[in-house]
Amino acid sequence: MDKKAQETLLILLSVSLLVNYVETMVVPAVPKIQQDFSTTETLVAWVTSAFTIVGAVVSPIFGKLGDIYGKRRMFLLSMGFYTVAVVMAGFSPNIYFLIAARALQGLGFAVFPLSLAIITDVLPPEMIATAQGIISGTMGIGTALGLVVGAFIDQDLGWQYAFHIAFVISLLLFFLAVKMVPHTGVRKKATIDYVGFSTLTAGVTLILIYLTQESSWGWFSLQSLSLLIPGIAFLGAFGWYEPRAKSPVIELRLLKIRNVLAANIAGLVSGIMILALFYGIIYYTQLPHPFGLDLDVISAGLTLAPSTLVMFIIGPLLGRLINKIGPKPILAIGSLVMMLGFYMLIVNRSTPSDVTIDSMVGMVGLLCLMIPIVNMISVSLPQEDRGVGIGMNTLIRNIGSAVGPVITTSIMSSYQGAFVLPFDGTYMVEILPSSTAFDLIFTVGIVMAVLNLVIAMTVRNYRFQAREQKKAVLTEAK
């Protein structure tokens, strides 16, 4: 890898790490934000939901625009929006301004799929999987930093300073990206499909709002159905119109490629598993005995820190392994390791050390899924379609990530027990998720892992011998 490629990888890695850190650092601050703005739990939940929803919608759109106008240009535009939104969030005068700033930050999530597309363009073929492993590992490192460092900043300085510090870093990285991220020189001649953009955005937005509000409104309440039914209708219209569009925003023909279809289905399932794992562990570790481990936010985050460090070390190694044995065995191994990790969380979670070991196993399994998924998308598509292809996969994984918390919270609200504690000379009863709830959450994770194992069996394997790989990919794309 030459010096220019190393610089590109370094800046893309740093930006992805920052975005994952900022997204997670908000979580420990949510109760304080609710208190500062004297708002409701339902409204403050939009501080996290707004980012997730916008990020999911813009990933394929910015990917498509990157294929048309250049990935570097769209990367810098996405990062520019993100930098402005971060400074806005730190000076929010009310909850509505903060939610709007977080939604604008969602435009910055597009840097992740664009980064994966850029490195596929600029790195030699034998280095692509390794670089994808490194960037994918930033999700774990960023999450750990957000939960731990973010909690310290929120506690000692206030949540506003968490955004102020992130803005300084964002601004620095933006100027470095202007200097270091290269033009890839590949653009696709196409017009903008405004009908496709509109129907996709409306459909995905309504469905994700439905999923994020399920715990407050219920699956089949009038409010929920008023989102679900139009959302399905918009997506149905999108599916009908896209094959007929002159320049579709998402070319559904790409799903005819076996590995692209398998990667997107596996991405949806993996998205559910990721959030079920995170939510299950974070909730369980903070619940009082005997329902959980009775840890504070910082200690709960620290139980995940070793596993995210392992992800960062294992990621590049898995990238090299894909070159030698291909993605299919790694996907299968990842599914089996995920099964083991979730099973360990069912039978072995009585101490923080137990949960740390269990999460390390689970995170390694997740990484064994994430890296082959991204690699299959990037190497199975023609260069002019990589941006939209990776963006589409990111959208699908985000939908899975939105479903994960819904499943987790639904199970926790369905299986509860009474927690009795002394209070002012009497007793207070609090209803909390029971041990059965967490057993079921982790059992759902096992089921998802089994499903991913089945998907792995359908993958067309390849090895990264440069000439043979290029020939196989071109043949598959045709």
Q: pLDDT tens, 177-214?
A: 888 887 776 555 666 677 877 887 788 778 777 776 66
Query: Does pLDDT of 257 surpass 80?
Result: yes
Rounded Cα–Cα distance for residues 417 and 211 (Å): 25
Buried/exposed 297-306: b ≥16 CB within 10 Å, e otherwise: bbebbbbbbb
405, 444 contact by CB (below 8 A): no
In the predicted structure, residue 449 carries a pLDDT above the cut 80: yes
pLDDT-above-90 percentage for the chain: 13
For every residue of 166-194, DSSP letters joined together read HHHHHHHHHHHHHHHPPP----------H
Same CATH topology for 1-181 and 253-478: the answer is yes
Position 386 pLDDT exceeds 70: no
Domain boundaries, given as residue ranges, for the chain: 1-181, 253-478
290 cis-preceded (ω within 30 degrees of 0): yes
Instruction: Name 433's bridge partners.
Output: 416
pLDDT tens-digit series, residues 259-315: 888 888 888 888 888 777 777 887 788 788 878 888 876 777 777 778 777 776 777
CATH superfamily of 253-478: MFS general substrate transporter like domains (1.20.1250.20)
| Average pLDDT value for the chain | 79
Q: Across the strands, what pairs with 356? A: none
**pLDDT category, 144, cuts 50, 70, 90?**
low
**Three-class SS of residue 457?**
coil
So what's the pLDDT on residue 70? Answer: 81
Which pLDDT band, with edges at 50, 70 and 90, does 330 fall under?
A: very high
pLDDT at 469 over 60: no
Superfamily of domain 1-181: MFS general substrate transporter like domains (1.20.1250.20)
Mean pLDDT confidence for 216-245: 80
Q: Note the pLDDT of residue 41.
A: 62
242-251, 354-363, 459-468 — most confident range: 354-363
Between 60 and 10, where is the model more confident? 10
CA distance 173 to 165: 13
Instruction: Name residue, tokens 């196409």.
Output: 190
Q: What is the pLDDT at residue 129? A: 66
* Residue 133: predicted pLDDT: 65
The most confident of 109-118, 223-232, 355-364, by mean pLDDT: 355-364
Which band of pLDDT confidence, cut at 50, 70 and 90, is reported for residue 340?
very high
> What's the rounded Cα separation, in Å, for the pair 404 and 166?
27
